[in-house]
Amino acid sequence: MPNADNRVIHPDRRIAIRAGERQYHIELGPGELADYVLLPGDPDRTARIATHFDSIELERRNREFASITGLYKGQRVSVISTGIGTDNVEIVVAEILAISERPTLIRVGSSGALQPEMDLGDLAITTGAVRLESTTSYFVHDAYPAVADYEAVAALVEAAERLGHRYHVGVTATASGFYGAQGRPIPQLPIRYPDLAKDMASQLVMNFEMEASALLVLASLARCRAGVVCAVYANRTTGEFISGDQKDAAEAACVETGLEGLLVLADMDRQKREAGTDRWRPSLWQHTV
């Protein structure tokens, strides 16, 4: 054919992620990940979350990335740990996107409270995050907002209410570290922003943590649904840290809320399909789970 286009399109060799293949870090391939995913930071928390499952389909672990897929109350779900920090979240989200199509992603983690009405063991449901980290600056303009999906926020609020867990809703600050990056003094080292926690609190930021903004920005760019719920492990005003049975109870409340939130989101999706729409609205609500 004289008019045929005989150009050879060469793949971009800079691309490290091969869509549709088993991924380098999380070691998951197509079909091994559910559409509804919990993202804890701690890899050991993955196994504790899976104790709630009806059955387990697969388990895998590589470095800090531990994953389990199974059934929870009849709904197929996955859990993948991200490790600590936004750089690890970038790895996990990028590889999830290579083997799935628009998954729902819910972070279940720990955080430090910045507001006086927040107690140890409470839950913090994020509406948006202050980007006090650099990972997302490699993807978006510095003024780009890190915003939770409204369906995810509504589902997590509904889940916490159903389960009777005390919770707060508001803006989170995502830091790039635990000590100096959150304004914590380090006797052997100078820190640049010693009043950072006070500044964030005065701007009514609810809590500090280390992963939310990366998840929310990358999910927004990929047109995926993402949300965040964290247990309060520390009070930055009083210096208190959670421990013992109270810590176990706080983690359990966060995990239960995340899992129930996934069920609510799956229910929302069914209601959208029945209504022939791609956007959930309160008038569609039917409490079926």
The CB density around residue 61, as the number of other CB atoms within 10 Å, is 15
Q: Is the pLDDT of residue 49 over 70?
A: yes
The β-bridge relationship of strands 104-113 and 36-40 is: parallel
Give the pTM: 0.91
pLDDT value of position 286: 79
pLDDT value of position 3: 53
Whether 72 contacts 52, CB under 8 Å? yes
Q: Is the pLDDT of residue 71 over 90?
A: yes
Q: Is the pLDDT of residue 178 over 80?
A: yes
Residue with tokens 């005003």: 237
Q: Is 7 exposed, middle or buried (0-12, 13-18, 19+ CB in 10 A)?
A: exposed
21: pLDDT confidence band, cut at 50, 70 and 90?
confident
The CB density around residue 184, as the number of other CB atoms within 10 Å, is 17
Average pLDDT over residues 34-47: 96
Q: Is the pLDDT of residue 191 over 60?
A: yes
pLDDT value of position 289: 61
pLDDT value of position 27: 87
More confident residue, 1 or 173: 173
Whether 99 contacts 37, CB under 8 Å? no
Q: Is the pLDDT of residue 24 over 80?
A: no
Q: Is the pLDDT of residue 13 over 90?
A: no
Question: What single string gives the DSSP state of each residue in 38-81?
Answer: EEESSHHHHHHHHTT-SEEEEEEEETTEEEEEEEETTEEEEEE-
pLDDT value of position 8: 47
Neighbour-count burial for 195-220, b at 16+ CB within 10 Å, e otherwise: ebbeebbeeebbbbbbbbbbbbbbbb
More confident residue, 24 or 282: 282
The CB density around residue 34, as the number of other CB atoms within 10 Å, is 22
Q: Is the pLDDT of residue 53 over 70?
A: yes
Average pLDDT over residues 254-263: 98
What are the structure tokens assigned to 282, written together?
């309160």
d(CA 264, CA 158): 8
Residue with tokens 């391939």: 29
251: pLDDT confidence band, cut at 50, 70 and 90?
very high
Q: DSSP 3-state assignment of 261? A: helix
More confident residue, 24 or 201: 201
Active site residues: 25, 95, 184, 236
Q: Is the pLDDT of residue 224 over 90?
A: yes
- Residue 2 CA: distances (Å) to CA of 5, 6: 9, 10
What's the pLDDT tens digit per position in 138-171?
Answer: 999 999 999 999 999 999 999 999 999 999 999 9
Q: Is the pLDDT of residue 17 over 80?
A: no
More confident residue, 239 or 267: 267
pLDDT value of position 202: 97
- Smallest Cα–Cα separation from 38: which of 125, 91, 103? 103
* Beta strand spans in the chain (E): 36-40, 55-62, 65-72, 75-80, 104-113, 123-132, 146-147, 167-175, 207-209, 225-235, 240-241
